[in-house]
Amino acid sequence: MARHAGVSTTTVSHTFSGKGVVAAATRERVRATAKSLGYRPDVVARGLRSNRLGILALVLRPLETLDSSLPEGVDYFLRFAGSAALAAMDFGYGLMLVSDPTREESPAAALACDGFLITEPVTDDPLIEMLLGEGVPFLSVGKDPARAAYDNWIDTDTELMTDLVLQHLDDAGATRVALVAGTDPNSWNLGAEAAYRAWAEARDQDPLVAHRPETTGESGGREAADELFDRSDPPDAVYCLTGRHAAGVLARVRERGLDIPGDVQIVGGSDSEHTRSATPPITSVDLQPELLARVAVTQLVNRLDDLDRPVPPGKLHGRLIVRNSTRTS
């Protein structure tokens, strides 16, 4: 390669690594020669030698417990991953979506990266334990609820968003609000339930909480509705943390002959195709995964590059989209 281009091997190395000083004309000649010869630099080997691969790994922790990596009707993960990939490209990085590398079935290449993004880590998350132990840079969206000793995480203000939802229901005339939460032990479920219980206590209401695994989807929402509405003191509003559970609750409540929103108001904690296409459409929280992803990528690459690039502005707790499943007057 160097002989064909009429340069030294050092010049070839500097051309493709970006290190050293190479005249523009020489750099173009080296690249043209490489293209004509079909030469491609070994970016993995080069990255290993320089301790930099230019790759970020993304672990979407909630997918580990769902029934599919493409859960039907749930677009949060696609929106987050797509935005993260594009943001990484803007900073000269690639993004690799992987499963938790502490699991035996995870691909061997899962650790071939410069840093990790982890969404919604669980209590005593094994990946965070490994990364902290090995000194691998990472950033989590949401905090490992069991760890107080790390600060490289983004606060999504779950408690604040929960309060905003409950205030919306209170303003809409609800007097007895129930919560349907998932079972993954992450800050999303735990923080929302803690905020709900504090809200109920402040209003002298006994908390009404139904737990269903995220993987149960709409059927889990139907089961939760039966649990809540078989009571002698059923709720007149339900806040479901997942869109699939919200759609299931709505369907079951209507089967019971109750009117939405006249008899029961429903809010979904994560907007999805289920909430948008329900009849009536369900008031939901748009968690704004595109913004979250851009903020997370910017903060992580700033750490990797030891730079202070501006972080995209915006509130990270999401925004409430009011639809016909709640009363607006």
pLDDT bin (cut points 50, 70, 90) of residue 44 is very low
Peptide bond into 261 cis (omega under 30): yes
d(CA 326, CA 329): 9
pLDDT of residue 46: 46
Check the CA dihedral 145-149-155-160 and report its sign. positive
- Phi and psi at 85, nearest 5°, equal -65, -45
pLDDT, position 195: 98
Chain centroid to CA 77: 6
Give pLDDT, residue 33. 78
Query: How confident is the model over 88-114, as pLDDT tens digits?
Result: 999 999 999 988 888 777 777 778 899
The widest CA-to-CA distance across the chain, in whole angstroms, is 87
pLDDT of 1 reads 58
The residue ranges of every structural domain in the chain are: 2-41, 55-156+289-316, 158-287
Higher pLDDT among residues 149 and 49, named by residue: 149
Average pLDDT over residues 118-130: 93
Would you call 327 exposed, middle or buried from its count of C-beta atoms within 10 A (0-12, 13-18, 19+)? middle
- Look at residue 139 in the predicted model and tell me its pLDDT: 97
What value does the mean pLDDT take over residues 287-305? Answer: 96
- Asked if residue 72 has pLDDT above 80, the reply is no
The identity of residue 294, as a single letter, is R
CATH number of the 158-287 domain: 3.40.50.2300
Architecture of domain 55-156+289-316: 3-Layer(aba) Sandwich (3.40)
Q: What is the mean pLDDT of residues 315-321?
A: 94
Q: 66: pLDDT confidence band, cut at 50, 70 and 90?
A: low
Instruction: Count the neighbouring beta carbons within 10 Å of the beta carbon of residue 44.
Output: 12
Whether 248 contacts 180, CB under 8 Å = no
Spell out a b/e string for 158-172, using b for 16 or more CB atoms within 10 Å of the CB, else e. bbbbbbbbbebbeeb
Q: Peptide bond preceding 280: is omega within 30 degrees of 0, i.e. cis? A: yes
